[in-house]
A and B are shown apart, each in its own frame.
Chain A
Amino acid sequence: RKEVEQDPGPFNVPEGATVAFNCTYSNSASQSFFWYRQDCRKEPKLLMSVYSSGNEDGRFTAQLNRASQYISLLIRDSKLSDSATYLCVVLTGGSYIPTFGRGTSLIVHP
């Protein structure tokens, strides 16, 4: 089983839709979690950290479920500009080595 797993998609949604992605992790000792966004042929950029109590940033909501070992990202009112690949990142171990998922592709169409 991979350390961090994501459904690669693509998720194809119309503008204005609400879409959610999950990311599962295998190591119960994982400590920190993030969502990064990567546009085509560009470098990844931090979208948001994921806190234990859940957190929201505008149209984006991230949640952590430690019992089931997954994190989620919810995007409300999707915009065309949200089209990208969303990477989840998990930090594990004493050295906090970052492990990226393979990413979930989102395509928002008019």
Chain B
Amino acid sequence: QKEVEQNSGPLSVPEGAIASLNCTYSDRGSQSFFWYRQYSGKSPELIMSIYSNGDKEDGRFTAQLNKASQYVSLLIRDSQPSDSATYLCAVNTGFQKLVFGTGTRLLVSP
């Protein structure tokens, strides 16, 4: 079982819709969780971090964490074509390094 799992997609949504990206992780001791956005040919960019159960909102982005279910999600409201990218879920399991999922490719059509 992979440590951090994401559906590779692509997830296609129309402009203005809500995009929902999901991630599950295997280590119950994981403490911190991150979402990165990576445009094609570019390096990852941190967009959200979440540490406790519940929702965390930042602009059009909402991260949701459920430690009991070992589940992290990212909601993007009012999706724009510029949101089209690969979204990487990353988990800190208590060591220095982050464990990354393989990413979900999001396509927002005009």
Are the chains A and B members of one assembly?
no
